[in-house]
Structure 1
Amino acid sequence: MLKIWRWYKHCLAAHPLKTQVLSSGIIWGLGDLAAQAVTRATAAKKKYVFLSDDDCDLRINWRRVVTTSIFGMAFVGPIGHFWYEGLDRFLMFRLQYPPKSMQFVATKVALDEIIFGPMDLLIFFTYMGFALGKSAAQVKDELKRDFLPALIVESGTWPVVQVINFRFVPVRYQLLYVNLFCFLDSCFLSWLEQQQDASWKQWFRSLFFDRNDRRGG
């Protein structure tokens, strides 16, 4: 493991963007593999879990793995690289907050949750829908079904993760730290997307979207 870490540090120093892109793609792909395993294991034990037609097959859905990995490479890697570096520069040089101070960390976490978090979820669900061949109407329905539950759950977990990240982890390693948690996050997002119209998701939808639909009618 020490050799791997040294090799990673060398790659990050020599090719920071490429290293972030490739590592993000690998981690998100592995996360989807784990998500497929978790979904099938859960479906075998609990009848309320709904699987899509592709997921009913016990074989690995490699199309999903590749699609999710591409999301990690094309979005999480490059955007995350510039996002964390840019946030640090903005807070230090424009707002002149002392690095690692309470004000610095709190503001960085808040901006990450308000801007990057919702954008990441919106792009993930939209991209996955279109990449897997779904229509615009289907993607819209799935956004209504999946976006809010995911945002609520992640808003309760990621701030804690990011406080530790922004307070103790050097900025050049912050995306790697995030990606390690994104392994679990990609499991959660993939699992959430594969739940279709599970009853607990219908409950979320009825609280917010159905009420608005009734008002609009």
Structure 2
Amino acid sequence: MAAAAAALMKNGHLKAHLRHHSLHRFLQQSTKHSIPDPPVSAHKKMGNHLRHQFQQCKWCSPFPHFISRKTKELQFSAPTKISSIFSPRVSSSSPKFGLVGWYLGMIQTRPIATKSITSAFIYTVADLSSQTIAAENSEGYDLVRTLRMAGYGLVIIGPSLHYWFNLVSRVFPKRDLLSTLKKMALGQTVYGPTATTVFFSVNAALQGESCSEIVARLKRDLIPTLISGIMYWPVCDFVTFRFVPVHLQPLVSNSFSYLWTVYLTYMASLAKVSSS
């Protein structure tokens, strides 16, 4: 009985071996008649081998998806970041150009108010400097006089400079040499004498001087002041009209007017002239 069972088991193993051998020969014959694979370069074989090893590594398997996702994010975000660096809005709001950018924005949105406040500030500093240089009052600064100068810059000079420079730029839109000389001539013959006359008259009226006293003051101080202005303002006007944009011309003119206002406030503080 045991011998018969051993014979059956041996026969079963033999049949299984024959089936495996015939299947192996069939696969070899089908492989010979199949289309061969295209040749693979050495670099591609090496890359496939390294990729296979990298995928086999359990702790490295999350990295390919992570790297590709970060690469896509960088591709989409890089142009936005680069363009934002060179955009005017970001550059003007940076800490280095924050104050300048804010001031330029205020000139564009609220030009008259910005230029008026700038004029008031310059006239205030100029009057304090004039009082410091003169040092006539040992009791301290005349703050009422400083408020008069600040009010003149706020109410008269700031708005008038805004409209004057816009008018001149419309009459002579070019910034060549001939147009610049024409603008300078208009400033010396129209705006300068008018602004100086108004300044002396308003300042004297706020000090309580009568009309005859104001006229006497103008006869005494107006001509010498205009002569001094002819010696000072042409160079300033040439730089302003020739090289500065229209919306920044009042700022540059006020900057030049600092020294001029120191002299002007000194002339306005002279004793009044007797009407007789």
Counterpart in 1 of 2:148? 67
Counterpart in 2 of 1:91? 172
Counterpart in 2 of 1:152? 227
| Structure number, greater radius of gyration | 2
Of structures 1 and 2, the one scoring higher in RCO (CA 8 A, sep 6+) is: 1
Q: Report if the CA contact (8 A) 2:121-2:150 is conserved.
A: yes
* 1:90-143 CA distance string (max 9 Å, x none): 123xxxxxx111111011110111100000110000000001122222222211
Q: What is the count of residue pairs matched by the alignment?
A: 177
* 1:148-173 CA distance string (max 9 Å, x none): 11100111110111001100011110
Counterpart in 1 of 2:116? 21
Give the TM-score taking structure 2 as reference length: 0.61
* Partner secondary structure for residue 156 of structure 1: helix
CA distance in 2, matches of 1:157, 1:106: 15
Give the CA RMSD over aligned residues.
1.5
Answering whether residue 92 of structure 2 is matched by residue 5 of structure 1, we say: no
Counterpart in 1 of 2:258? 183
- How much has 1:3 moved relative to structure 2? 2.9
The sequence identity of aligned pairs, in percent, is: 27
* 1:189-209 CA distance string (max 9 Å, x none): 111223448xxxxxxxxxxxx
- How much has 1:75 moved relative to structure 2? 1.0
CA distance in 1, matches of 2:219, 2:138: 26
CA distance in 1, matches of 2:220, 2:97: 43
- How much has 1:85 moved relative to structure 2? 0.8
Please point out which of 194, 197, 200 is paired with 2:269. 194
CA distance in 1, matches of 2:268, 2:203: 9
Give the TM-score taking structure 1 as reference length: 0.77
Counterpart in 1 of 2:131? 36
Answering whether residue 210 of structure 2 is matched by residue 135 of structure 1, we say: yes
* Partner secondary structure for residue 141 of structure 2: coil
> Please, which runs of 5 or more residues in structure 1 have no aligned partner?
41-54, 93-98, 198-217
CA distance in 1, matches of 2:115, 2:104: 11
